[in-house]
Amino acid sequence: MPAASRPDAIATATPSASPLALTDRRPVVPAERLVAEMVPPPRFAGVSFGSYLPDPTQPSQYEAVQVLEEFAAGISAAAVPAKKGWFRRSAPAPSGPAGVYLDGGYGVGKTHLLASLWHATPGPKAFGTFVELTNLVGALGFQQAVQTLSGHRLLCIDEFELDDPGDTVLVSTLLGRLVENGVKLCATSNTLPEKLGEGRFAAADFLREIQGLSSHFRPLRIDGQDYRHRGLPAAPPPYTDAFVDERAAATPGAALDDFGALLEHLKAVHPSRYGALLDDVQAVFLRGVHQVDDQSTALRLVVLADRMYDRELPITASGLPFDQVFPEELLKGGYRKKYLRAVSRLVALARDSAA
C-alpha cells in the first residue's frame, strides 16, 4: 500500500526538541561497557518462566520450561555455601549437563526462555548474543575473556551464529575452556537455512560445530509459530513523509533519519556499537524505507533491527512496508533465517508505533 494512500491526519501535539539523527552519531564503546552490559536486553529485563506463555498446541514449549527450571535449580543448589563445622563439605558441583541448547524456529520464545533462565540463576552470570560475545573476545583478548567469564556460574548465548566458521571455532574454543572451569551454558542458534528444512534450526549441526562440546549439551526442540504474528494482520502500511516528520518533532527522544542515509552511515559504525547508537532514543522515525538489495547492507540492517527490538523502540516509517524490505533473492540465500527474524521484529515495532 503506497504512502500516498494513507494520508493520515497529523495529530496536534506540542513539539518536542528537534529530533536527533542517528547518522550524526559515532559512538565509542570501551571494553568495560561490553562486560557490564552482558545482561538481558530491556525487552527481557523482567521476564520469567511464569511470564512465558506456551502455545497450548505445542507440548514442547511446556517441556522446555520444565527442563530449564530444573537446570536453574541445579545451578542455584550448587551456589549455596556449605555449612561451617568440623565435617563441612564443599558445595556440590552442578548436576546435569554443562549446557542446554534451544532448537526452534524464530518467534517461539527462545530468547524469553534464555533470559528467564538468567534471571532465575544466582550470579555472577552473563548474557549476550553470539556477536556480542565475539566482540568481547576481540576487546579483551582470548585469555582475558576466559579469565573474566570463568568466574561466572552461567553464560547465556543468544543467536549462536553458524554462518561464520572463524568466529564459531573461536567461541567454541572459549566455551570449551569455560566448561572445564565449571561454567554452565545455555544457547540458542541461527543455522544456515539450507541445513534447516523449513524454518527449522538444526541441533545436530550446532552440536557438530561446537567441537568437543556436544556431549555437554542437551538439545531441546521448541516447536511453534512466531508469537509476534499469531492471529495478527500483516505489516501496517507506511505513513507519508510529512506525517513521519511531524510525529518525530512531537515525540520526546525521537530519532529521525532518511532510511538510505542511515544504511550508508552503518557502514562506518561497527555492529558492536549499534546499541550505543541508540542510547537515549525512545522512538525511531524513518523516511523513505526501500528495498535493500546489497547483502552486506542487509546484514547490517539485521543487527540494527535486533538492537531496536531489544530496546522496544517503536518505528514510524514512510516508503515500503517492512515485510517488503528484503528481496526474494536474499530471502532464498544463506542468510534467509536472519532476514526473516529481522522482518518479524521490524513489523512488530511498526505495529507498536501504530498502536
> Is 252 part of a structural domain of the chain?
yes
191 and 69 both lie in a single domain:
yes
71 and 162 both lie in a single domain:
yes
Where a domain ends, among 195, 224, 253? 224
Strand 315-319 with 283-289, pairing? parallel
Higher pLDDT, 38 or 208: 38
> Is 48 part of a structural domain of the chain?
no
Contact predicate 185/99, CB 8 Å: yes
Q: DSSP character for 281?
A: -
The domain of 300 spans 3-27+229-354
* 3-state DSSP percent of the chain in helix, strand and coil, to 5: 45, 15, 40
* 12 CB burial (10 A radius; 0-12, 13-18, 19+): exposed
8 and 127 both lie in a single domain:
no
210 and 293 both lie in a single domain:
no
* 18 CB burial (10 A radius; 0-12, 13-18, 19+): exposed
> Is 39 part of a structural domain of the chain?
no
163 and 194 both lie in a single domain:
yes
What digits encode the pLDDT tens for the residues 145-193? 999 999 899 999 998 876 666 777 888 889 989 999 999 999 987 553 3
pLDDT over 50 (residue 235): yes
* The most confident of 207-211, 219-223, 235-239, 302-306, by mean pLDDT: 302-306
Assign residue 218 the CATH number of its domain: 3.40.50.300
**pLDDT of 13:** 46
> Is 45 part of a structural domain of the chain?
no
**pLDDT of 220:** 84
> Is 46 part of a structural domain of the chain?
no
Residues 6 or more apart in contact with residue 140 via CB below 8 angstroms? 31, 35, 148
95 and 131 both lie in a single domain:
yes
Number of domains in the chain: 2
